[in-house]
Amino acid sequence: MSPKLRKFVEFCKDFSSNKVALVAFFIFLLILFVAIFAPLVSPTDPYDLNTVSIMNSRLPPFSEDFSGNYFFLGTDGAGRDMVSAIFYGLRVSLGVGVLSGIFALIIGSFFGISAAFFGGRYESIIMRIVDIQLSFPSILVALIILAAFGKGVEKTIIALILVQWAYYARTARSSALVEINKEYVDAARCLAFGNTRIMFKHILPNCMAPLIVVGTLQTAHAISLEATLSFLGLGLPITEPSLGLLIGNGFEYMYSGDFWISIFPGVALLITVASINLVGDHLRDMFNPRLH
Amino acid sequence: MTAFIFTRFAQSVLVLFIMSLLVFGGVNLVGDPVEMLINPEADQAEVERVIRELGLDRPVTEQYWYFLVNAFKGDLGDSFIFGEPALKLIIQRMPATLELALFSLFISLIIAIPLGIYAGYNPDSKASKVIMAGSILGFSMPTFWVGIIFIMIFAVQLGWLPSTGRGEIGTFMGINSSLFTLNGLSHVFLPALNLALFKISSVIRLTRAGTREIILQDYITFARSKGISEKRVVLIHVLKNILIPIVTVVGLEFGSLIAFSTVTETVFAWPGMGKLIIDSIYNLDRPVIVAYLMIIVTFFVFLNLIVDILYTFLDPRVRIKGDHQ
């Protein structure tokens, strides 16, 4: 067995020691599968106007319409099958959350590692900006961007990137500061490698573990924040129905007792966010040297 | 020390200036408020009159300059919708938000501290594991959705508590608040509990970690060896010592309760600042949007400035580093 593979097997064993995290991980994989293959696994296409009938609006769970379509979780105000709407909503929610997380990871680790590498005035300016930004609650940062520039897919993603990048920058800098003093960095410098190469080919891979931990927890946070913003009507437009929008749509039927339109998308959101959080929590414990 | 405070103050002013550029610039690039305000059947002359009246015919830079000059005089412009000063509208709604945030802080502390102490005191018991799992769940639950469920259960199905508005307002020692009437309390309970959820989870974790550290200290062993009852050890010795970090963190995060109350206020139709900003964004009421964002940003910037300065008094290391720069 190659050393890399052995390390990976060891990591898997270590991860499986916590049964709750393992179950959460498999639930997350299932959700990811459903989100990616939503058009294939959904019973109907909820946004195809030919199949959606207003006659079926607000059917309770476990009901059937005249042409024999079965609605396991009922239908919403426009007669869409809730199961399908949730599957498509997961796709949008996860897509926006993961995309913004990846961008924030790239931007944050770039600034974090370069700050640690160059130090001096550059470092203090970057870290001061990070500190100032982290002193604002995430929802306020998102609110400022979306209130000032209006709603939309790109704007929501930009707002989520802005909310998250500072966490990545701080994590990347603190682990890069430790790495920089190690011998392999000196060795790379002696070989006269360029700064960019040392920073991103040598230091970055060794900072990945804490960045991944922050990444999982931040992605969960981003998904939940996007849902909140879309519910408020500030995030995604109605053409991109995320789980938050589905919950918001159901809110108007709440007072007439049609609970399923709001509740089930929320349950899907809760399971998604909780499973990511549980995995992230366990990863954090695994990488925390103080607990070993 | 003085240099440190001066640098921080200059940075705060810079942040405010950048925010004003960002917010004012952004708001003026989006949407057409005239379209929202004028009767669609109005003729061209009427449209132009309104545009002139609102000062929208001038270049954006000039509008921004007027905004800055007036802001220093304490005038943040008049609301397009209400025709009243934006600042006045916000100040009118501020007490409702503050009472909601304070009450939810109160709820979160009386629920979370006992649970946190219990979980820290018996870390391996079943109940502690349930408490900790619950706190992860609390972190993961979207606040607005929990609010909807609260309304569904307690207002729609059971009919126990009202789900919208602020209720009757009482006066006590010159302060008007719905916390002073029974009807008002019944209105504030659900939104406050909803806003408190997130805080409950984080205070439970904080208290648990603090308790686990403190029960290992020598003075706890000493107190026990003196024969003091276990109840007294927990209620006096442990509680007093964990309160210090909890009060610091919770005090600092009071601002985040106010920021997150926008969500709760929208769900429960609570007439506070948060609902005002969301409504203003829908109505493109630019002066109110700009005024709200500037007020809340100023609040946060100065809150942090004060905390930074306080730390220099409490922790000499910060002071030395600041002078060194």
The stretch A258-264 carries a mean pLDDT of: 81
Other residues' Cβ atoms within 10 Å of the Cβ of residue B92: 14
Nearest CA in chain B to A247: B145
Chain B contact for A207 (CB, 8 A cutoff): no
Give, to the nearest 10 degrees, the angle between helix B143-150 and helix B254-267: 50
Q: pLDDT, tens digit, for every residue of B202-260?
A: 889 888 888 888 888 888 888 888 888 888 888 888 888 888 778 777 777 788 888 88
Residue A41 above 80 pLDDT?
A: no
Own/partner long-range contacts of B230-239 (Cβ < 8 Å, ≥24 apart): B234/B117, B234/B121, B238/B117, B238/B121, B238/B211, B238/B214, B239/B113, B239/B117
**Token pair for B29:** 């690039």
Q: What is the pLDDT of residue A7?
A: 82
Question: CB of B265 within 8 A of CB of B192?
Answer: no
Does residue B315 sit in helix, strand or coil? Answer: coil
Tell me which of B4, B14, B144 to substitute to probe the interface with A (most A C-beta atoms closer than 10 Å): B144
Establish, for the pair of chains A and B, how many residue pairs have beta carbons separated by less than 8 Å: 120
Query: Would the CB atoms of B300 and A262 count as touching at under 8 Å?
Result: no
Q: What share of chain B is helix, strand, coil (3-state, %, to 5)?
A: 80, 0, 20
Q: Taking CB atoms and an 8 Å limit, are A147 and B27 in contact across chains?
A: yes
Residue B32 distance to chain A (closest CA, Å): 12
State how far residue A212 is from chain B, nearest Cα, in angstroms.
19
Tell me if B293 and A143 make a contact (CB, 8 A cut-off): yes
Cβ-contact A81, A71 below 8 angstroms: yes
> In chain A, pLDDT over 70 holds for what percent of residues?
89
Above 90 in pLDDT, residue A64? Answer: no
Q: Tens of pLDDT along B8-38?
A: 888 888 988 888 888 887 777 766 667 666 7
Mean pLDDT of B251-280: 87
Of B156, B255, B263, the CB nearest to A232: B263
CB contact under 8 A, A228 and B263: yes
Closest residue in chain A to residue B32, using alpha carbons only: A150
Q: CA separation (Å) from A54 to A45, A76, A78, A242?
A: 14, 10, 5, 21
Residue that wins the pLDDT comparison between A287 and B15: B15
Give the tokens for residue A61.
């769970």
Task: Spell out which residues of chain B touch residue A147, defining contact as CB-CB under 8 Å.
Answer: 23, 26-27, 277, 281, 289, 293
Per DSSP (E only), the strands in chain A are 63-64, 70-71
Q: What are the structure tokens assigned to A170, written together?
A: 């701080």
Residue B142: its chain A contacts at CB < 8 A? 224, 227-228, 231, 244, 247, 266, 269-270, 273
Contact A234 B151 (CB under 8 A): no
- pLDDT-based confidence at residue A67 (cuts at 50, 70, 90): low
Q: What is the pLDDT of residue A194?
A: 87
CB contact under 8 A, B293 and A144: yes
Residue of A148, A251, A277 lying closest to B23 (CB–CB): A148
**Residue B323 predicted with pLDDT over 60:** no
Give the pLDDT score at B325: 42
Residue A205 has pLDDT above 80, yes or no: yes
Residues of chain B contacting A232 with CB distance shorter than 8 Å: 144, 262-263, 266, 278
Contact A247 B23 (CB under 8 A): no
For residues A176 and A61, give the distance between their C-alpha atoms in angstroms, rounded to a whole number.
53
* A266 vs B19, B145, B277: nearest CB: B145
Which of A145, A234, A270 minimises the CB distance to B141?
A270
A259 at the B interface (CB within 8 A)?
yes
Taking the Cβ of residue A253 and every Cβ of chain B, the question of whether any pair is shorter than 8 Å is answered with: no
Chain A positions in Cβ-Cβ contact with residue B143 (cut-off 8 Å): 228
- Band of the pLDDT at A55, cuts 50, 70, 90? low
Res A240: pLDDT: 81
CA atoms of B44 and A43, how far apart (whole Å): 52
A220-248 pLDDT per residue, tens? 999 999 999 999 888 888 778 888 888 88
pTM of the full predicted structure? 0.85
Note the pLDDT of residue A114.
93
Angle at Cα A248 formed by Cα A242 and Cα A250, nearest 5°?
Answer: 110
Give the pLDDT score at B180. Answer: 67
Q: What is the pLDDT of residues A108-125, one digit of tens each?
A: 999 999 999 998 899 999
Higher-pLDDT residue of A4 and B104 is B104
Interchain CB distance below 8 Å, B139 and A132? no
Q: How many CB atoms neighbour CB B205 within 10 A? A: 20
More confident residue, A52 or A131: A131
Residue A85 in this model has a pLDDT that exceeds 80? yes
How many CA atoms, within 13 angstroms, populate the side-chain half-sphere of residue A18?
15
Res. B51 pLDDT band, cuts 50 70 90: confident
Contact criterion met (CB < 8 Å) for B148 and A257:
no
Q: For residue A54, is pLDDT > 90?
A: no
Give contacts of A 149-178 with B, CB under 8 A. 149-150
Q: pLDDT tens across B154-189, in order?
A: 887 787 877 777 766 766 666 666 666 777 777 888
**CA–CA dist A143, A148 (Å, integer):** 8
Chain B: closest CA distance from residue A81 (Å): 20
Taken in order B156, B162, B166, B168, the sign of the CA dihedral is positive
Predicted local distance difference test score (pLDDT) of residue B5: 82
| pLDDT at residue B172, rounded to an integer | 67
**Which of A150, A259, A270 faces B140 most closely, judged by CB atoms?**
A270
- B contact test, residue of A228, A260, A277 with most B CBs within 10 A: A228
Q: Kindly tell me if the per-residue pLDDT of B324 is higher than 70.
A: no
Per CB-CB distance under 8 Å, the chain A contacts of B29 are: 149
Q: Is the pLDDT reported for residue A105 higher than 90?
A: yes
Q: Which pLDDT score, from 0 to 100, does residue B171 have?
A: 67
